[in-house]
Structures are given as C-alpha cells and as structure tokens.
A and B are shown apart, each in its own frame.
Chain A
Amino acid sequence: MNTGASTFSQGVDLSLYIITGISLFFLIGITVVMIYFVIRYNKKRNPKATNIEGNFTLEVVWTVIPTLLVILMFYYGWMGYKPMRQVPDNAMEITVYGQMWKFSFEYPDGRITDTLVVPINQPVKLNLVARDVLHSFYVPAFRVKEDMVPGKDNFLWFEANREGRYDVLCAEYCGMLHSFMLSSITVVNQNAYDEWLTAAPIVTDEHPGLAILKQNACLTCHSQDGSKIIGPSFKGVYGRTQLVETNGETREILVDDEYITRSIYEPNADIVQGYMRGLMISYENIISEEQVADIIDYMKTLK
C-alpha cells in the first residue's frame, strides 16, 4: 500500500494493521491446528475415532473471545473514521463536478480546473456534485472516498500533510470510460500555492463554446481535429450532409442548428453511420439552449 499523505492516513492504517494482525493470527492458528489434526489423527495413526459431542466451556470461550475482538476492531474502525465527518471551520471549500468521464474543480474565486492544486496542511472540503450518473471521488493516498450522487449534497474533506502529486480515481462504475475518469491532486507549500493562484488566469480568452465543451467533458469522445475517438469529430461537421441511422433506417441529414441541438438533447435519436448507439446520455437538463447556441457558434469555427 502506498504511504499515506493526509491526516487520516494514520488512523486508517492503524485500524488496518490491527484488523489484519488479528485476522492473520486466527488464519494461521486455524490452519496450523487443522493440518496438525489431519496428520496426528490420520486413520493410520488413529484407526479408532473417539466420539466427542461438544464441550460447553469451549463454546463459551470461542463465543466470548471473538465478541470482544470484533468490538475492538469496530472501535478502531470507528475512531479512524470519526474525523472524516468532522470538517474544521477553517476548511477551504471547493466544488467537484463529476460527469461521464471527467472531474472538474471549481475554486471559491470561480476558476475551474481539471486537476486540483491545494496547499499543504490546509483543511480542504470538497462538495461533491454529480452531473449525470453516480461517480465516486477516491484519493488512495489520502484514504478518502465518497460517492457523488445526483441530487444529493455529499462531501468529503482532507488535510494533506505531504507534498506531491496524488492520483484521483473514480471508484463507482459510471459507464464506458469509467476507468479513464482520472484526475490528480497536487499538494504544494503555501507560497507555491499563492503563486499558482496569481499565475493561472481565471478568465481565459477561449471561445465560450469551447469552455462549455471542456466543462461537460464532450471532448473526451469528440475530437476537434477530425480524428475518430468514440463519437464523430467536431471538425468541419457544421453544414455538412451526413448519413445517419434513425429507428433502424438510414437517411441523409444536414448538420444544422436543429440537428446539433437534437444530438445533444436526444443523442440516440440519430446515430452517425459507423458509430455505436447508447454511449451518450441526454444533456437536456445539463446544457441550456443558450449554451447550445455557443457550442454551435464554436463548431462553425472548426473548419
């Protein structure tokens, strides 16, 4: 297991060692006794078995001892977990958006990033927002994980105590590219963090349509350079005539405002020839009509 890098690591690892220690003791004990009996009381050595119905004292002993031990294990598990729900008042709040198949982070000053940069020894509270289906925000090095559930305000918090770059993984299955839904947290000292804050601009000069495409992870599946990923590329798509399959029939359509809007809101209505059905969800409640207009405006620039 990797070395912990948050204030929770110690409590989690301690309970892991205690439970694993007790478990190993019993596993080895049971196995050794079992093998010993099989050898010692083999029918060659012991041709006549002795019937023993049971032993009340033994039953009591091996009920009481496991009971005490499981209470002990529960206790350490609980103690390691308890601080995970007690967010310090001085925690910095960041909103995390999860959607197929991308995490994005919104800082208090409004900047939106793909990866997280946080200062060391600073409690950070992450408000977890799922935009489409279930996801789970998992940082193995910090020993934290919490599901992102649509319509539910889940959160987690952590305080990193070691500088470095740590993986963020999605731990709740979320469809085709679940295993590619990755990000990272970079833990830096306060100076470096302040520097990063001032260096990285909040407002970019990129096209608003491109910003929406990035924010909604559209570019995970649709390229801008004509290459085929999972869905059709956006390059030169606007104004083109295209063969699509609608309800099992092939027809020719013109890629115009109406078609693009429909592709975003009812992605399985028309499928471009050579692509698979059912890989994209409807963005009807996620991308507004004004935003669709921005996207169309941006697509027109991709000649």
Chain B
Amino acid sequence: MTTATTDLNFFQVKRGLFSWIFSIDHKRIGLLYLYSLMTFFLVGVTLGVLMRLELLNPGKDIMEAQTYNQVFTLHGVIMIFLFIIPSIPAVFGNFFLPIMLGTDDVSFPRLNLLSWWIYIIGSIMALSTLVFGDGPADTGWTFYVPFSVNTTTNVTMSVLAAFVLGFSSILTGLNFIVTIHRLRAPGMSFMKMPLFAWSLYATSWIQLLATPIIGITLMMIVAERFFGVGLFDPSIGGDPILYQHLFWIYSHPAVYIMALPAFGIISELLPTFSQRTIFGYTAIAFSSLAIAFVGYFVWGHHMFTSGMSGTGRIVFSIMTFLVAIPTAIKVFNWVATLYKGSINVQPPLLYALAFIFLFSIGGLSGLVLGALATDIHLHDTYFVVGHFHYVMFGGTGFAFFGALHYWFPKIWGKMYNITVANIAFVIFFIGFNVLYFPMLVVGLMGMPRRYYDYLPEFHIPNMISTFGSWILVTGLLLMLGNLVAGLFNGKKTGRNPWNSISLEWQTPSPPPLANFDKLPELPEGGPYNYKND
C-alpha cells in the first residue's frame, strides 16, 4: 500500500535551511521553536547561575549592584517571555496537537510560521538591549512605574520586545482554538480529545483574551517615557497603582498560560506509563477550564501590600483560594491514575512524578501567599521567589523536560541512553531542591527579593542555594548532553517504544509529512485505549 513518497518522514521530504525557516509544517515549526527556546533558556540559566554566584556571600562577589539589577531583569524577561510562556504550547503543542487530533496540520499553517518569526524578532529585540542603548533594563521583569519611566536603561526596547512577543502568543492561541474546533478527526468529540488538547484549549483562550492587555499596558510605559502623558505620574493626575492592576490583569492569567499546558503533559505521561486510562477524565478536562476562568479574577493578590482597600484584599484572597480547588482535583486524579496500573518506571515518568511533588510544594506555598496575614509578612520576599520557581520550573520546567524525554523517540525515531537520563534526572531533582528550598526559608526569615546584598543572618541559606545551582546545572548539562548524543547516535526505535496507548503513537516515528497515511481510527471508550500487541 505504501508508495515511495509516503515512506519519507517529515525530516526527509525536504532538506536545507530554507526548508526549515520557511516551513509551514507544524512539526518543523514546533522544532524551530524547540531549538530557539532552548538557546534562550540556556542564556537565562547562565544569568541565573551568575546571580546565585553573586549571592554566595554578603557584599560584592563578582559584579556591581547595577549589573546585578540588569542581570536579574534580563533573567526574568528571558525566562518568562522567551521561554516559559511559549514553551510547551509552541513546541509540543505545535508538534503534537494536530497529530493528537488526527489531522494533518493546524488550521492556519502560514500564521503559525508567522508567529515563529514574530517570536524570533521579539527575542532578538529583547537580547539587543545587551548591546544597544544604555544597557538592559534594571527594573525587574514587572517594569513597575514610576521607576521604569525614570530609569535611563533601555526599558523602551525591553517592553517593545515583550509587546512584539505578545503577538506571537496571541496568534498561536488563535490558531489552536480554531484547530481544536474545526479539525478534530471524524468521531472525535470534545470529550474524546486527549487531555493535552484540552489543556491547550484552555490555555489558548487566555493567550487570546489576556495578552492584548499587556500589549496596551507596555505601550503606556513607552508613552510615559517619551511624551510624559501622565498616565502613571501622580503629580500630573496619574496613578502608579493603575499600572499594577493592568500589568497583573494579564500577568496573573499568564501564570496559567505557563502552568496549564504542563498539566496536560502530566495527563498524557501518567496513562502511558501506567498502561491504563486516565482516572477522572471529565474532572481533569473541566478543571483546566475552571482554572483558566477563575485565574482571571485573582490578580489583586500581587498587590496585597500596595494599599488596596480591605474589601479588595479580602475578595482577591478568597478568589485565590478558589483556584486551589480545581488544582487539587487534578493532583488527586493523577495520583489515582497510578492505582492498579502496570507501572513502567522510565525517565518521562520520573519527571511526571517529580512534577507532582514539586508542583505540590509550589502550589501549597501559594496558599501561604494567598492568605492575607501571612502574605503581608512574605510579600516581595524570597519566599515568593522560591514559590514561583517551584511552580514554574519545578512545575512547567519539569513537565517540559518530561515531555521532551517522552516524545523524543516520537519526534526523531531514536532513543537516548535511558540509564544516563535517569542519573541526570536524580542530579537535576536534588539540585533543584537544594537551590530553591532555602529560598522559602530565607523568605520566612524576612529577606526581601531583588536583593544585591543581604544582612549577615541570611548568609547560610543563600550559600546552600548557590551550591544547589551548581548541582542543578550539572544535572541539566548531563540531561541535555545525553539527549543531543541520542539525537546523533541513538538507537533506532520502532513506532511506539513506550507501548503508549494514545493516538500520536499510532503513526510511524518520525511521522510522515501528513502525519497519518490513512484516517486514524478511534478506540472505544476515550483517548487512552489504543491496544498494543
């Protein structure tokens, strides 16, 4: 039945640089995102390691205060806007959403390519502040006014970069929503979609609806800097607090842009490595929508100490606690998915289990910050820094690397060294906790965040944290080195080396250009029921 052309996988159909950077194949665009994201991620990691090195001892270790402030700002901008917001949707969403829906591409392939180009242009703009103008912004990634309006560093270019990157995010969201509505395989109702598609669906709506707000807000900073319009300047009738509201109306939902796709990854990994269907499909699917919805109404918890009215603080505190409920439901269903499974402990599963543990620490420490009394004490301290690194890196980051290990043989048709991957995971996991747990402790002790120098009583936790950064980087380099080695010398695998029970493994690995040779058949009883003999 196969002809010569259909034997070619999507890598083989065309070769050369232009066949990649102008490709409209969703799989190639996903990989373009992967390579560019990983490059920026490594830049961000380097900056993070330098920060930790500076904080090894009180006083100056390696850099001046002003440099440190620019380094932590750039670290934040790169990690948030260049890595974690696009991460899972842009790489794995692009690559796998059409395959998991049983179709050949996203609804708007050209728009998809455009969104990658916009991403690259925005990223170059963000990094250009290293070379042009008066140095990278020194405001923190939040660009709080009035400081961001007063400082002479290159805030304008940084916010313009974030503005441009926003369009990339909006277009990807739009593309996925239409794809999910229009291109599902015949017979695949919403309730038969893989859960990864559900989580992308919830994410995409946030990308589409919330991102324009940050675009406008950042333009307001530019207007303030160049024309002194007075939007945020109280001496001519503006209000600095207005900026914080506008900023967090986007940036809190953006946390769910970062987290929801990771939930989707975990919901894929657990059934595969337990060899059974997901527990509580409906609950997991709808809790994503609930999180996306309630997540719009909690932004005020970033402003509990800004002088908001008591009523405002109480309402935002209640709403914040409500988000915990659908999140808890997800965690319980994931753990229940392991029950009576036939569990195959492989690197991707280790990342999924680590995700549940680390994300739980992140989420539960979030409860401490959602409660008013404790937040007043811990607001803007290292406790917050620890909390969001547990959520973003321990959560989304671990899900990202879990997905990379999971779908590696699907994308390239080769396998990395499993033993090395396991060792790298253990080092990475230990390093992570040694790096970030002391931040929770030093925050409880009262050390504020964005601190170039600190009081002597904060020394020991900071020192431990810096040691942790070295362990983490060792694990990370080993992990990435192992994957790169697998890319070149990995053993060829068959179509489905994990014995996965979901749709994307039903087609050859690597997939052909059109994803499937014939229309995929859907199994009885939900998306996690493909039989492997």
A85 within 8 A of B: yes
B353 cross-chain contacts in A, Cβ below 8 A: 34, 38
Q: Which of B434-481 contact A (CB under 8 A)?
A: 444-446, 448-455
Q: Which of A81, A140, A170, A179 contacts B453 (CB 8 A)?
A: A179
A147 within 8 A of B: yes
| A172–B446 CB distance below 8 A | no
Known: A49-B340, A132-B146, A178-B452. A12 touches B151 (CB 8 A): no
Give CA–CA (A134, B234) in the complex, Å. Answer: 12
Give CA–CA (A177, B453) in the complex, Å. Answer: 9
| B448–A169 CB distance below 8 A | yes
A-B contact pairs, 10 of them (CB 8 A): A41-B343, A53-B526, A77-B373, A80-B373, A81-B313, A84-B373, A136-B380, A152-B234, A173-B147, A176-B138
Give CA–CA (A85, B357) in the complex, Å. Answer: 37
Give CA–CA (A246, B529) in the complex, Å. Answer: 72
| B345–A42 CB distance below 8 A | yes
A138 cross-chain contacts in B, Cβ below 8 A: 380, 446, 448
B240 within 8 A of A: yes
| A50–B276 CB distance below 8 A | yes
A108 cross-chain contacts in B, Cβ below 8 A: none
A201 within 8 A of B: no
| B445–A74 CB distance below 8 A | no
How many pairs of residues, A versus B, come closer than 8 Å at their CB atoms?
280
Known: A38-B345, A70-B322. A146 touches B307 (CB 8 A): yes
B158 within 8 A of A: no
Q: Which of A74-96 contact B (CB under 8 A)?
A: 74, 76-81, 84-85
Contact with A along B356-398 (1 / 0, CB 8 A): 1100110011011011111111011100000000000000000
A202 within 8 A of B: no
| A176–B65 CB distance below 8 A | yes
**Residue of chain B at shortest CB distance from A284:** B235
Q: Flag the segment in A57-65, A191-199, A237-245 that touches B.
A: A57-65
**Residue of chain B at shortest CB distance from A148:** B307
| B307–A147 CB distance below 8 A | yes
A176 cross-chain contacts in B, Cβ below 8 A: 65-66, 69, 138
B305 cross-chain contacts in A, Cβ below 8 A: 136, 145-147, 171
| B345–A171 CB distance below 8 A | no
B372 cross-chain contacts in A, Cβ below 8 A: 77-78, 80-81
B331 cross-chain contacts in A, Cβ below 8 A: 30
Give CA–CA (A50, B318) in the complex, Å. Answer: 39
Known: A54-B282, A145-B376, A277-B152. A41 touches B240 (CB 8 A): no
| B281–A281 CB distance below 8 A | no
- B8 CB to nearest chain A CB (Å): 35
- A158 CB to nearest chain B CB (Å): 11
15 additional contacts, CB 8 Å, given A37-B339, A151-B235, A178-B69? Answer: A30-B335, A54-B283, A62-B328, A81-B313, A134-B146, A134-B147, A136-B379, A146-B305, A152-B241, A171-B379, A175-B151, A178-B451, A276-B66, A279-B66, A285-B235
| A134–B374 CB distance below 8 A | no
Give CA–CA (A80, B328) in the complex, Å. Answer: 25
| A170–B375 CB distance below 8 A | no
| B371–A74 CB distance below 8 A | yes
Q: Which of A83-139 contact B (CB under 8 A)?
A: 84-85, 132-134, 136, 138
B336 within 8 A of A: yes
In this complex, the interface size class of chain A, counting residues with CB under 8 Å from chain B, is 35 or more
B497 within 8 A of A: no
B62 within 8 A of A: no
Contact with A along B316-359 (1 / 0, CB 8 A): 01100110110011011101101111111100000001001100
Listed residue (B239, B314, B361, B373) with the most chain A CB atoms within 10 angstroms of its CB = B373
**Residue of chain A at shortest CB distance from B368:** A19
B2 within 8 A of A: no
Q: Which of B90-149 contact A (CB under 8 A)?
A: 134, 138-140, 144, 146-147
Q: Which of B283, B339, B364, B444 contacts A41 (CB 8 A)?
A: B339
A67 cross-chain contacts in B, Cβ below 8 A: 325
| A145–B338 CB distance below 8 A | no
**Residue of chain B at shortest CB distance from A62:** B332
B153 within 8 A of A: yes
Q: Which of A19-53 contact B (CB under 8 A)?
A: 19-20, 22-23, 26-27, 30-31, 33-34, 37-38, 41-43, 46-53
A133 cross-chain contacts in B, Cβ below 8 A: 146-147, 150
In this complex, the interface size class of chain B, counting residues with CB under 8 Å from chain A, is 35 or more
A175 cross-chain contacts in B, Cβ below 8 A: 69, 138, 147, 151
| A74–B341 CB distance below 8 A | no
A216 within 8 A of B: no
- A171 CB to nearest chain B CB (Å): 4
- B290 CB to nearest chain A CB (Å): 11
Q: Which of A74, A136, A174 contacts B318 (CB 8 A)?
A: A74
A274 within 8 A of B: no
Q: Which of B220-252 contact A (CB under 8 A)?
A: 234-235, 238-241
| A48–B342 CB distance below 8 A | yes
B277 within 8 A of A: yes
| B138–A34 CB distance below 8 A | no
**Residue of chain B at shortest CB distance from A152:** B307
| B321–A26 CB distance below 8 A | no
A143 cross-chain contacts in B, Cβ below 8 A: 373, 376-377
Give CA–CA (A280, B336) in the complex, Å. Answer: 58
**Residue of chain B at shortest CB distance from A178:** B450
| A20–B277 CB distance below 8 A | no
| B345–A140 CB distance below 8 A | no
Closest 10 CB pairs of A and B: A151-B234, A77-B371, A140-B446, A80-B373, A278-B152, A81-B372, A23-B364, A37-B338, A49-B276, A154-B307
Give CA–CA (A289, B134) in the complex, Å. Answer: 30
A204 within 8 A of B: no
B274 within 8 A of A: yes
A253 cross-chain contacts in B, Cβ below 8 A: none
| B367–A43 CB distance below 8 A | no
A225 within 8 A of B: no
Give CA–CA (A277, B151) in the complex, Å. Answer: 10
Give CA–CA (A146, B336) in the complex, Å. Answer: 43
B280 within 8 A of A: yes
A34 cross-chain contacts in B, Cβ below 8 A: 335, 338, 353, 356-357
Give CA–CA (A277, B66) in the complex, Å. Answer: 11
Q: Which of A30, A73, A140 contacts B321 (CB 8 A)?
A: A73
